């Protein structure tokens, strides 16, 4: 939280508070999109831990407008739906939430049988564990995604199935790094699936400009999935099984401002942000 101060560089871990704040606020406003009561109680706990951080929460209030707030709950809902679909055919699956931050997807989708792994940087996991303890079927991995030893910490049994989620994570890396991470996962977890979101270069420019305006530096958005074909070109093991513009599968509400609805339509038209669902092939 300290790094959200206007005068300092933000740490990458500090990006975990915004999505929680947005899920807490916007899931209360639009429970028909995302029912995330856990996020609200977690946000209360964060406020209790930081009683003097009103200024920092004000930064979030200003940065996360209606469009961005809705984007966070739409992303969470999209991931919930993807997990739900996967569990129909793989009820005992392992699910890995990469760059989990203070995400509470496990609490929303748990079917009583799956195994859940939440991975984030050590400092982020330290903070997360103060708020969300590990449980019998849900545990944290305190490692960078770039430290590939995390792949040994995940229980992978091809028959049970493995689904990887990466929400708001790949944007912080360059394309070559994302390609390496995904091709490594593809060869390590054959038959598994990965769902992630990605902005376009135009979308990244908008986010970076807004961060600057807010006085936040050091957490620029870099990677953009220019085209879905580009992702398949990284390896013969990667197949795109679904992709769609970020706001295309949500019913627009007349309760949202004209600007929000316009920006969502423009996003779909110009391809600013999208979800991509990959399957890793079992054969070379």
Ligand X SMILES: C[S@@+](CC[C@H](N)C(=O)[O-])C[C@H]1O[C@@H](n2cnc3c(N)ncnc32)[C@H](O)[C@@H]1O
CB of 19 to ligand X, least distance (A): 3
Q: Which two structure tokens, joined as six digits, stand for 84?
A: 């739900």
CB of 283 to ligand X, least distance (A): 29
Q: Which residues, 242 to 271, sit near ligand X by CB under 6 A?
A: none
CB of 146 to ligand X, least distance (A): 5
CB of 47 to ligand X, least distance (A): 17
C-alpha to C-alpha distances, 93 to 80, 103, 251, nearest whole angstrom: 14, 19, 30
Q: Does 197 bind ligand X (CB under 6 A)?
A: no
Q: Does 33 bind ligand X (CB under 6 A)?
A: no
Q: Which of 24, 60, 124, 238 binds ligand X (CB under 6 A)?
A: 124
Q: Does 103 bind ligand X (CB under 6 A)?
A: yes
CB of 152 to ligand X, least distance (A): 16
Q: Does 199 bind ligand X (CB under 6 A)?
A: no
CA angle 242, 168, 219 (to 5 degrees): 145
CB of 278 to ligand X, least distance (A): 17
Q: Which two structure tokens, joined as six digits, stand for 14?
A: 């500090």
Q: In the complex with ligand X, which residue's Cβ is closer, 161 or 168?
A: 168
**Considering only 37-45, 47-55, 140-148, 156-164, which stretch makes contact with ligand X by CB under 6 A?**
140-148
Q: Does 146 bind ligand X (CB under 6 A)?
A: yes
CB 221 within 8 A of CB 171: yes
CA atoms of 95 and 128, how far apart (whole Å): 18
CA atoms of 188 and 184, how far apart (whole Å): 6
Q: In the complex with ligand X, which residue's Cβ is closer, 153 or 232?
A: 153
Q: Which of 1, 5, 8, 12 binds ligand X (CB under 6 A)?
A: 12
In the stretch 155-174, what mask flags binding to ligand X with x, by CB under 6 A? Answer: ------------xxx--x--
**Considering only 57-65, 120-128, 237-245, 265-273, which stretch makes contact with ligand X by CB under 6 A?**
120-128
**Considering only 53-61, 118-126, 194-202, 220-228, which stretch makes contact with ligand X by CB under 6 A?**
118-126
Q: In the complex with ligand X, which residue's Cβ is closer, 145 or 278?
A: 145
Q: In the complex with ligand X, which residue's Cβ is closer, 84 or 158?
A: 84
> What are residue 243's phi and psi, to 5 degrees?
-155, 155
CA atoms of 283 and 148, how far apart (whole Å): 21
Q: Does 121 bind ligand X (CB under 6 A)?
A: yes
Query: Using CB under 6 A as the criterion, which residues of the chain lie in contact with ligand X when the complex forms?
Result: 12-13, 15-16, 19, 99-103, 119-121, 124, 144-146, 167-169, 172
């Amino acid at each position: 939280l300290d790094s959200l101060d206007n005068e300092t560089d933000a740490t990458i871990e500090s990006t975990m508070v915004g999505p929680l704040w947005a899920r807490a606020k916007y899931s209360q406003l639009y429970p028909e999109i995302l029912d995330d009561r856990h996020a609200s109680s977690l946000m209360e706990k964060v406020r209790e831990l930081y009683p003097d951080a009103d200024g920092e929460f004000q930064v979030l209030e200003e940065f996360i407008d209606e469009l961005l707030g809705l984007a966070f709950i739409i992303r969470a809902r999209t991931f919930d739906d993807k997990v739900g679909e996967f569990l129909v055919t793989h009820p005992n699956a392992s699910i890995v939430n990469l760059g989990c931050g203070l995400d509470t997807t496990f609490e929303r989708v748990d079917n009583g049988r799956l195994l859940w792994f939440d991975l984030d940087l050590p400092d982020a996991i330290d903070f997360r564990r103060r708020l969300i303890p590990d449980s019998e079927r849900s545990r944290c991995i305190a490692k960078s995604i770039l430290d590939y030893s995390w792949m040994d910490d995940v229980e992978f049994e091809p028959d049970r199935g493995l689904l990887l989620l990466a929400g708001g994570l790949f944007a912080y890396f360059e394309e070559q790094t994302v390609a390496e991470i995904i091709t490594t996962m593809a060869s390590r977890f054959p038959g598994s699936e990965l769902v992630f979101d990605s902005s376009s270069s135009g979308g990244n420019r908008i986010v970076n400009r807004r961060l600057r305006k807010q006085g936040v530096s050091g957490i620029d958005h870099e990677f953009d999935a220019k085209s879905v074909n580009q992702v398949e070109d990284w390896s013969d093991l990667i197949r795109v099984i679904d992709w769609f513009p970020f706001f295309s599968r949500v019913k627009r509400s007349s309760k949202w401002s004209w600007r929000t609805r316009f920006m969502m339509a423009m996003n779909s038209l110009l391809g600013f942000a999208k979800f991509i669902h990959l399957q890793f092939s079992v054969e070379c």
